[in-house]
Amino acid sequence: MKKLFGSCIVVGPVSSGIFRFRYTPTAIAILALAWVASFSMVVVLGYHFPPLVTDRDQIRLEIENQELRVRNRNTEIGTAKIDRRLSRLEGQAQRIGHLLEAE
């Protein structure tokens, strides 16, 4: 029979059953090794993947997005003005063409 390192008895308040866990030094070593391995994997994965966006980066991105929206809106307004001027110039060119044909 294996030498026991200790035991843990769990008694539930509602159930009438008693759970008894017996553990050996080998079982404790295996559990400790599994804990160290899983903790090490969490640390390695934490360093492997990029960090989440910080509040400062989030604010910087929001300001940059706002500036880009303003720039895009200004470009749209400028394009609309140029289209109106172009339409007006095309209309004047057609009138001039009609006047030249009439003479």
| Integer Cα distance of 102 and 88 in angstroms | 21
pLDDT band at 2 (very low <50, low <70, confident <90, very high): low
The position carrying tokens 């500036």 is 67
> Residue 25: which residues within 8 A CB-CB, separation 6 or more?
3, 5
What residue segments make up the domains of the chain, in order of their start? Answer: 6-48, 53-103
| Integer Cα distance of 31 and 37 in angstroms | 10
Q: What is the pTM of this model?
A: 0.45
- The answer to whether the CB of 5 falls within 8 A of the CB of 25 is yes
Q: Is residue 1 pLDDT above 70, yes or no?
A: no
Paired residues of 23 in beta bridges: 6
